[in-house]
Amino acid sequence: MKYYDDLRSFIDALDAMGDIMHVTREVDCDFEPSAITRRSYEIQSPAPLFHHITGVESGFRLFGAPASLSSRSDMPYARVAMSLGLAPESTGLEIVEALSAARHKPGIPPVRVESSAAPCQQNILRGEQATLDRFPIPFAHDKDGGRYANTWGTLIVKTPDGKWVNWSIARVMKVDGKRMVGLIVPSQHIGQIWAEWVKIGEPMPYALVQGPAPAISCVSGIPIPAHADEADYIGTLAGAPVEVVKAVSIDLDVPATAEIVIEGHVSITRDCQEGPYGEYGGYLGSGSSAQPTFHVETITYRDDPIWPMSITGRPTDESHTLWAMGLAADALTYLREAELPVKAAWIPEDSTVHWLLIVMPENWRELLPGMSSEELSQRIGEVLFKTSAMMFIPKVYVVDDDFDPTNLREVVWVLSTRVHPVGRRAVFEDQRVIRLPQCYEEEEYVAGKGAKVVFDTRQTTRHLHASFEQGYPQEVRQRILDNW
Taking the CA atoms of 330, 333, 338 and 340 in sequence, report the sign of the dihedral they define: positive
Instruction: Give me Rg for the CA atoms of the chain.
Output: 23
Taking the CA atoms of 209, 210, 214 and 218 in sequence, report the sign of the dihedral they define: positive
Based on the number of CB atoms within 10 Å of its own CB, is 177 exposed (0-12), middle (13-18) or buried (19 or more)? middle
> Is 279 labeled as catalytic in the residue annotation?
yes
**In Å, what is the CA distance from 478 to each residue of 402, 466, 482?**
21, 17, 6
**In Å, what is the CA distance from 163 to each residue of 6, 228, 468?**
27, 10, 57
Q: How far apart are CA 300 and CA 263, in angstroms?
A: 8
Q: How far apart are CA 293 and CA 181, in angstroms?
A: 5
What are the start-end ranges of the H helices in 265-359? 324-337
CA 382 to chain centre: 24
Look at residues 456, 349, 356 and name the one whose alpha carbon lies nearest to residue 399.
456
Q: How far apart are CA 299 and CA 258, in angstroms?
A: 12
Based on the number of CB atoms within 10 Å of its own CB, is 114 exposed (0-12), middle (13-18) or buried (19 or more)? exposed
Q: How far apart are CA 110 and CA 165, in angstroms?
A: 12
Look at residues 225, 220, 211, 224 and name the one whose alpha carbon lies nearest to residue 260.
211
Based on the number of CB atoms within 10 Å of its own CB, is 295 exposed (0-12), middle (13-18) or buried (19 or more)? middle
Q: How far apart are CA 204 and CA 433, in angstroms?
A: 27
Q: How far apart are CA 233 and CA 241, in angstroms?
A: 9
What 8-state DSSP symbol labels residue 238?
Answer: H
Helix/strand/coil for 194: helix
What stretches of 40-98 adopt beta strand conformation (E)?
47-50, 61-64
The percent helix, strand, coil of the chain (3-state, each to 5) is 30, 25, 45
Q: Which of 32, 279, 318, 349 is catalytic?
A: 279
230-240 core/surface letters (b: 16 or more CB in 10 A; e: else): bbbbbbbbbee
What positions carry a catalytic annotation?
Answer: 279
